[in-house]
């Protein structure tokens, strides 16, 4: 009876109260749960139904959800910590998101874009300023991922593995390397590291001493994008990303290798994540003797990436990278056969601090401070070469009557079949104004602040506003010649744009930027792009057709050396006002770019194969051209012939081999094409070909040089541009035909990557004007097709011996092509490295 009475009491009074308490407790628990929600779409933005979304934390499944009919999902968890999502759906490649921190009260939004199972469709940032699926943009953008960079020591080789690009490396490992995008100048590319501008003032950037250590990916945008990134993005954008730690415990990776030419490389990386903090630190050391005398090279690189997430909506991140290198500069060995006694070194420091805040589900803010501290040193201890006439190089300093130092009598042979014989001037003597030892320092410092806000106004419209400020300080110092020039400027960019779509079929980008730069004043750069899916992705032979169109304008800030080496300033200070008026020479201005682009993309067999092709037409105006020191004295008619000769010697002895002005204009149009395909889950193939038709429309060397004294350099009656191309010719070092092919295999234990890059002959100069035995031009050759074509083949791979130990090897230039570099610079022959990789933990930072 007692038991029955208790049960009746509980039933009538206590059970309802207990149930209510349970509901309250459950509601309280849910209120404290983290919410991870969002939508799953394909590359066109179409919703994906039935996708499995799994939340992983500490290596375990925490919770999961299935996307609904509108692609949405929501996961609730009472746990807090670091998580990532794994998303899978039929006919799509499995997606793993970057890790993130979630607290119990956080609400986190994630847009999950699934790629086709067989090909790669990257998420890109340089096209719109926000992470956007590649197919939703009209921009020509390529991405080099971890597998493309894993076994490389620098970026000179990988940058060739995309359409529309050409790399000129003036020598062997560590030598100056320049990137030409779609026929534009090499200093018209904006180079970013984690969003921080790292180029010199004026856009110049040397890829030679940039290590792949702590570089996770490289995104390359082809075309002007000054509307988003400001001046210097006049031909393209190269955006590099540093990885961050992901494992819940410290992960340590060490690798070391050795190869021929006394080459060795060691690298140590420590990475991990704990609660709200993630971290990565890396250091590498590379050294090589190269294959030429006095061409030793070494590079030390340090990098760090530390992130802290106080909440799921806010992330604070600091990055730092410091590189120190030194390399011998034997000069154009094929022209002298005597190594120059010169060394170049760099000390480059890049750092940044970023705050990302997802203020509301649709409103994102980004604040960033960046610093760049670059110092390039060039030093020479003595004048290498043979004194001709013998014993005449020790005359009175600055007498301008003695001899100079020359290389050996050499046959100089161009790819066009023309040749010349004779010793070439290697160094001026003290009698002719040179001082040894000497040293040149180029300094480029920058402090910058960037703000960007983007608002998802509707599911089909995103608005963007940004502000960029940069204070740049540059200096050029050469004490032995009493050169100490500096410049400090402040620049501003104001950006407004919109990106959206209509029914996930028509995608558009509209953007404009107002630039206020201290050197060239105000400029407006517009950008517009359209992408239209004429046939949406689907099963079948023709499984997707997309059409693209874009228009853009760009501008480049003049470089420090161009501003200091202005022909206008030189003539103004030396009585050349009449020449300025006669030839219409103006102060240095900002070069400009305008481009039109249209093309399409076709997928086949359920997106197993994707073919892309586009036509581009670029106009480059007010390009900066060099006027050789041999011509400069003739621009001053008030000087006697003896005074002109003395001035020429002074200019060249002080390394002022040329002066600059805005006198060059050229057009570059062409066709880019790529095809890529996946075979199963492990094999990926990609290839491309670019045809470039570039022609100079205006050139000081052609239009005005012959007017001054009626003298123009020729080779057996063929006009030659010594320092810059002539009207009707091609710009230097931009081959009309380039191509590439890559094949990669990524298995559980074995990875392998084969790459090949091809280029046809290109126009160039020997740059040996006024440098033969008689100070004449007998060593210049016709510019047309002067540089050799090449086929560069590389092969690398790794094998996992144990869970913590693997072996790897990389071979480059397997055909030992000697003319991958421009004429005069022999390329590094076949070279290889092999080594061991030891790793504790899984996933390090990559």
Which pLDDT belongs to residue 581?
79
Which pLDDT belongs to residue 365?
96
Helices then strands, counting H and E runs in the chain, come out as 10, 46
Tokens 């008689």 correspond to 774
Burial class (CB in 10 A: 0-12, 13-18, 19+), 635: buried
**Is the CB of residue 425 less than 8 Å from the CB of residue 792?**
no
Indicate the DSSP class of residue 537. -
Which pLDDT belongs to residue 400?
67
Neighbours of 615 (CB within 10 A): 13
Residue numbers in the chain where pLDDT is lower than 70: 1-33, 119, 398-400, 628-658, 701-712, 842-846
- For residue 839, give the nearest of 801, 793, 795 by alpha carbon: 801
391: alpha, beta or left, given left = phi > 0 and alpha = psi -120 to 50?
left
Q: CA geometry: angle at 38 spanning 34 and 39, to 5°? A: 155
Neighbours of 30 (CB within 10 A): 11
Cis peptide before 389 (omega within 30 of 0): yes
Is beta strand 189-193 parallel, antiparallel or unpaired with respect to 236-241?
Answer: parallel
Q: Where are the alpha helices (DSSP H) in 557-626?
A: 560-564, 567-573, 577-583
Structure pTM? 0.90
In order of 52, 438, 475, the CA distances from 482 in angstroms are 69, 11, 13
Which tokens belong to 154? 């620098």
**Is the CB of residue 79 less than 8 Å from the CB of residue 57?**
yes
Radius of gyration of the chain (CA): 30
**Is the CB of residue 116 less than 8 Å from the CB of residue 543?**
no
- For residue 151, give the nearest of 688, 826, 744, 841 by alpha carbon: 744
Q: CA geometry: angle at 505 spanning 501 and 511, to 5°? A: 35
Listing DSSP states for 720-746 in one string gives --SSSPPTTSPPTT--SEEEEEEEEEE
What are the b/e assignments for 759-771, b being 16+ CB within 10 Å? bbbbbbbbbbbbb
- Report the C-alpha gap between 774 and 606 in whole angstroms: 68
Which tokens belong to 512? 């404009």
**Is the CB of residue 455 less than 8 Å from the CB of residue 377?**
no
503: Cβ–Cβ under 8 A, 6 or more apart, which residues?
none
% of the chain exceeding 90 in pLDDT: 59
**Is the CB of residue 204 less than 8 Å from the CB of residue 292?**
no
Which tokens belong to 56? 């992983």
Tokens 């607290």 correspond to 103
Neighbours of 756 (CB within 10 A): 19
Which pLDDT belongs to residue 708?
54
Neighbours of 754 (CB within 10 A): 16
Helix then strand then coil, in percent of the chain rounded to 5, is 10, 50, 35
- Report the C-alpha gap between 705 and 696 in whole angstroms: 16
Cis peptide before 437 (omega within 30 of 0): yes
Which pLDDT belongs to residue 632?
67
Which tokens belong to 71? 């692609």
Q: Mind spelling out the 3-state secondary structure of 136-162?
A: HCCCEEEEECHHHHCCCCECCCHHHCC
| Strand runs labelled E in 312-362 | 314-328, 342-360
Which pLDDT belongs to residue 588?
87
Q: What is the largest CA-CA distance in the chain?
A: 132
Which tokens belong to 744? 């990669």
């Amino acid at each position: 009876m007692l038991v029955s009475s208790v049960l009746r009491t509980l039933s009538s009074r206590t059970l309802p109260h207990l149930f209510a308490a349970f509901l309250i407790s459950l509601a309280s628990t849910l209120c404290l749960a983290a919410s991870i929600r969002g939508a799953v779409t394909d590359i066109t933005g179409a919703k994906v139904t039935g996708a499995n979304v799994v939340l992983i934390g500490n290596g375990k499944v925490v919770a999961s959800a299935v996307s609904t009919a509108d692609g949405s999902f929501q996961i609730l968890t009472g746990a807090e910590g670091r998580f990532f999502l794994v998303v899978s759906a039929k006919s799509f490649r499995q997606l793993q998101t970057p890790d993130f921190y979630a607290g119990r009260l956080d609400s986190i939004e994630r847009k999950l874009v699934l790629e086709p199972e067989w090909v790669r469709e990257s998420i890109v940032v340089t096209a719109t300023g926000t992470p956007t699926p590649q197919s939703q943009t009209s921009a020509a953008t390529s991405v080099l991922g971890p597998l493309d960079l894993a076994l490389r020591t620098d970026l000179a080789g990988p940058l060739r593995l995309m359409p529309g690009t050409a790399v000129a490396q003036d020598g062997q490992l560590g030598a100056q390397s320049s990137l030409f995008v779609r026929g534009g100048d090499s200093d018209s590319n904006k180079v970013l590291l984690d969003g921080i501008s790292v180029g010199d003032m004026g856009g110049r950037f040397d890829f030679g001493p940039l290590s792949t250590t702590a570089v996770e990916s490289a995104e390359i945008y082809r075309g002007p994008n000054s509307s988003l990134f400001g001046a210097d993005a006049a031909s393209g954008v190269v955006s590099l990303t540093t990885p961050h730690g992901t494992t819940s415990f410290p992960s340590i990776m060490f690798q070391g290798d050795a190869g021929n030419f006394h080459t060795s490389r060691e690298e140590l990386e420590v990475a991990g994540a704990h609660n709200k903090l993630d971290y990565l630190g890396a250091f590498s050391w590379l050294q090589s003797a190269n294959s030429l005398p006095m061409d030793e090279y070494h590079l030390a690189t340090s990098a760090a990436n530390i992130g802290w997430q106080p909440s799921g909506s806010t992330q604070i991140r600091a990055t730092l990278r410091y590189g120190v290198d030194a390399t011998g500069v034997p000069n154009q060995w094929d022209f002298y056969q005597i190594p120059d006694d010169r060394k170049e070194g760099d000390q480059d420091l890049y750092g940044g601090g970023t705050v990302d805040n997802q203020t509301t589900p649709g409103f994102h803010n980004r604040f960033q401070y960046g610093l760049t501290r670059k110092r390039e040193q060039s030093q020479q201890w003595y004048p290498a070469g043979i004194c001709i006439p013998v014993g005449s190089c020790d005359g009175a300093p600055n007498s301008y009557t003695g001899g100079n130092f020359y290389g050996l009598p050499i046959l100089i042979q161009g790819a066009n079949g023309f040749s010349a014989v004779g010793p070439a001037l290697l160094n001026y003597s003290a009698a002719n104004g040179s001082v040894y030892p000497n040293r040149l320092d180029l300094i480029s410092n920058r402090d910058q602040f960037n703000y960007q806000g983007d608002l998802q106004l509707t599911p089909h419209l995103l608005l963007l506003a940004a502000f960029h400020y940069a204070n740049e300080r540059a200096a050029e110092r050469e004490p032995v010649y009493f050169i100490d020039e500096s410049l400090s400027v402040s620049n501003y960019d104001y950006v407004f744009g919109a990106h959206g779509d209509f029914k996930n079929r028509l995608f558009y980008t509209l953007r404009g930027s107002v630039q206020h730069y201290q050197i060239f004043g105000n400029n407006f750069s517009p950008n517009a792009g359209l992408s239209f899916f004429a046939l949406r992705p689907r099963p079948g032979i023709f499984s997707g057709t997309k059409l693209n169109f874009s228009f853009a304008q760009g501008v480049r800030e003049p470089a420090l050396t161009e501003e200091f080496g202005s022909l206008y300033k030189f003539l103004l200070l030396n009585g050349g006002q009449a020449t300025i008026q006669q030839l219409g020479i103006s102060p240095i201005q900002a070069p400009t770019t305008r481009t039109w682009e249209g093309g399409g993309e076709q997928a086949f067999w359920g997106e197993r194969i994707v073919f892309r092709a586009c036509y581009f037409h670029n106009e480059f105006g007010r390009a900066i051209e060099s006027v050789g020191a041999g011509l400069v004295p003739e621009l001053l008619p008030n000087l006697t012939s003896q005074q002109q000769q003395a001035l020429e010697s002074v200019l060249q002895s002080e390394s002022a081999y040329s002066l600059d002005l805005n006198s060059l204009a050229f057009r570059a149009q062409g066709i880019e094409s790529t095809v890529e395909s996946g075979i199963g889950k492990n094999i990926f193939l990609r290839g491309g070909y670019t045809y470039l038709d570039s022609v100079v429309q205006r050139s000081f060397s052609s239009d005005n040089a012959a007017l001054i004294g009626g003298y123009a350099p020729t080779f057996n009656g063929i006009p030659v541009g010594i320092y810059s191309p002539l009207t009707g010719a091609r710009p230097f070092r931009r081959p009309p035909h380039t191509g590439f092919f890559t094949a990669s295999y990524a298995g559980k234990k074995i990875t392998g990557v084969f790459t090949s890059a091809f280029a046809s002959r290109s126009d160039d100069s020997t740059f040996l004007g006024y440098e033969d035995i008689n100070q004449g031009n007998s060593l210049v050759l016709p510019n047309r097709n002067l540089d050799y074509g090449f086929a560069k083949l590389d092969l690398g791979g790794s094998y996992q011996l144990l869970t913590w130990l693997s072996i790897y090897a990389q071979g480059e230039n397997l055909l030992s092509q000697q003319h991958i570099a421009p004429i005069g610079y022999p390329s590094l022959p076949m070279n290889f490295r092999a080594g061991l990789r030891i790793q504790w933990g899984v996933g390090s930072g990559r």
